[in-house]
A and B are shown apart, each in its own frame.
Chain A
Amino acid sequence: MKQVLAIAHKTVLKALHDKMFAGITLIFLIILPLLPLLLRGDGSVIGHLRLFISYSVNFSIFFLSLLAIFMACNSLYEEMFRKQMFLLATKPVRKWQIIAGHWLGTCIIVGTLLAGATVINYGGLRWIYSHQKSVLTEEQHTDIAQNFFSARKTALPDNPDIDSMVEESVLSFRKANPNDKTPAEELRETYRKRLFYKLYCIPVNFQKKWTVSGIKGVKGDVFNFRFKYYTSEMPPDGKINGKWVFGEAGVTEEHEVFTDKSPETYHTLTLPVSVISGDGTLQVKFTNQDNDMLTLIMPDKDNVEVLYESGIFVINYLKASLLIFCQIAALVAIGVLFSAFLSFPVACLMTLFFFGIGTMATHFVQMLSAPVVEEAHGHSHGHEADHEAVESIFDLVARKMVGSMIQVFPHFDTINPTRFLTDGRFIDSSTMIWGFGIILLLQGGTALILGTIILHRKELAKVTI
């Protein structure tokens, strides 16, 4: 351990004496505090805060990742290039200690900058808020407190499993009509459509029910209910009338809300926690009372959501920084791995490649995964014909291969904290586990182990071509 720390310490000293590093750091530390002044947003304070946090966090991630890649690739490479490795390798130091020392040293440097950025960005947020506090109405204050400076957990309704319901219906149809020759796919389509109307369409004076369970650890007296619906055509006045009933008579308090909200955007209601039962279940009923007699559509995906305060913003914000650190530390590990056998520019390029793919990994996986199948809840129809296109085996195999190759890359987008922070959402433990367990420990650790093996087998005094 002493050896690892000694090498890490030396790596830090190297950076501190590096003029290029000093210059880059200075630029970073100048731009960062200027961001709240440069960004304006849509005019509202909450808009300003959201814009600022997404820019400052993403800018920090981007900048520090690049710096981490640069420093990581330079650190080990230069040790070998300048032949200082000749001395290091003849000291009683194991190869893993050399790798770990370079990794740790670089992580300390970039981690320190990240800590600085975290403080500066938080200062920026506070500055924006306190600077415009005086012009805010009481309602806007609550809005910011609930929707931005918060750490809310989310709970979704228990959705029915459409696919198995369709299969069940097809099976029972076959049993009842053994001589029917209708193709299975056609039957499925019919049942799917039928279920779709039954489950998601709410004609006038009809009611839809949801059960949202697992609402645990609510802080405060109120929580938010978020919803969004669609209509087949826009209402003339742009509004849909409806009645919401929250809670279950006899079990919890009941709370009624009448709304006249427009379709196709999210709306948020603030409700008392007394409508949630002791075991964390919320019953919701909605009745369509539209004047224009329009039918509403509320598909499973993004229809309703319960948001409740569960933590403190500052803690959430620190967790976000930890997630960024996981990404940086993993990138440093990858950079050290590549610089163990590649020259500085090539190692940089390779690590940048990992950074690029990792930043868009989920996107790529979605693009490549499974042939495009008509999704049951799409509300715009009419392109079924396109899906008849036959996928060749080759295409399928290529997709599968590229898809599974992408799985090897660290999915940095999964742990990007911006989507949590802009909406004041609690960073859940699965995201934290993904960041620490998968990206840092598993993927970063694998890179370091591979780096050790490569360094072990490397003939250090051989001239690299």
Chain B
Amino acid sequence: MADNTKPVVMARNLTKVFKDFWGRPRVKAVDDISFQINQGEVYGLLGPNGSGKSTTLKLLLGLLFPTKGQISILGKPVSHVAVKQRIGFLPEESYLYGYLSARETLEFYGKLFDLTAAQRKQRAEQLLDIVGLEKVASRPVREFSKGMARRLGLAQALINDPDLIFLDEPTSGLDPIGTRQIKDLISDLKQRGKTVLLCSHLLADVEDVCDRISILYGGKIKVEGKVSDLLQNHNTLQINMPDLKMSTIEKIKKVIMETENNPDISIEHPHDRLETFFLNVVEQAVKDKDETSGAQIHLAGKKEPEPQTADQNTAETTDTDLIKHLMDKE
């Protein structure tokens, strides 16, 4: 679990103002934000489009220079090569070399980390397997679909087995299985004591994997906190159990009516989430050994989707809904 003593990422009063050609301030993309991520934590950065998530990430990675504020990554300024040795980054789009194959791409990045030839080969094969690209590893990346490129982007971010990983919308362009795998992968990384900073719009996933989140709006942090604390809804209850006889249900209804005196109850079968349904269909196809020229799918590591635990509404909400929801709670 999270070791709260060691801050891995620290941002203090971070501000970024984009200026135009004449040096006049144009956009305040990040506005005086401070946060800290501890070792072993999975931290989620949420917010609507253009709220400054990617900009924050680029500031942390040294791709942009802050207008104001301090940053330290793994206890040092990010420009240190020693810091870069221990981080992984998946940008908002996978900026890969179209003329290299998937394997060559990983080979290239492996060399930059000074890995030996044997290490590079072993890591590359392992990662290609994890992201399901082993069958297409020799094809040039320019032929890849968006999701395939995304998978390779993720593999490159993990080539050095980083201690700190920055993921900017890792699931964008991925199919539900890929999304699921990324979720599992993040949980895996967390289990191994890695720190992850994640930007995403898929709240259901963020909710499942993140320890803490902060929600940006217009470059400012609106809410920050533990996911479990933020999402607990004290107004509704949900009872989960296998199917019941009609007569039992009637009895329960009666008991509730008598004791609570509230007519606002309904008892029905829970809906499968679309995710579960889609997973089942594809799972069947994989079992039937149907051919695909796209990404390979692994069933081995796939977990049964958990039953829905949280409030029915939050699971499928959009960003703005959630923000409104959370703000109302404050």
Contact = CB atoms under 8 A, between A and B. Distances in A.
A465 interface: yes
Contacts of A86: 58, 63, 89, 91, 95
A146 to B, nearest CB: 51
Contact of B64 (A10, A14, A459): A459
A91 B84 contact: yes
Contact of B99 (A14, A90, A92, A459): A14
A201 to B, nearest CB: 69
B114 A10 contact: no
A92 B114 contact: yes
B156 interface: yes
B113 interface: yes
Contact of A460 (B18, B63, B81): B63
A92 B104 CA distance: 18
A93 B85 CA distance: 9
Contacts of A184: none
B91 A83 contact: yes
Interface in B259-310: none
Contacts of A14: 97, 99
Contact of B85 (A18, A89, A92): A92
Contacts, number: 76
Interface residues of A, number: 28
Nearest to B157: A87
Interface string A17-53: 1100000000000000000000000000000000000
Contact of A13 (B81, B82, B104, B156): B104
B100 interface: yes
Contacts of A461: 58, 63-64
B98 to A, nearest CB: 8
A310 interface: no
A88 B85 CA distance: 12
A85 B18 CA distance: 20
Nearest to A6: B111
A73 to B, nearest CB: 18
A453 to B, nearest CB: 14
Contacts of B140: 17
A2 B156 contact: no
A94 B81 contact: yes
Contacts of A93: 81, 84, 112
Contacts of A381: none
B35 interface: no
Given A6-B111, A83-B91, A93-B112, A13 B64 contact: no
Closest 10 CB pairs of A and B: A6-B111, A17-B99, A461-B63, A92-B84, A91-B112, A83-B95, A92-B85, A92-B81, A90-B89, A461-B58
27 contacts: A6-B112, A9-B108, A13-B99, A13-B104, A14-B99, A83-B93, A83-B95, A84-B95, A84-B97, A85-B95, A86-B63, A87-B89, A87-B156, A89-B61, A89-B63, A90-B61, A90-B62, A90-B84, A90-B89, A91-B84, A91-B113, A92-B82, A92-B85, A459-B63, A460-B64, A461-B58, A462-B64
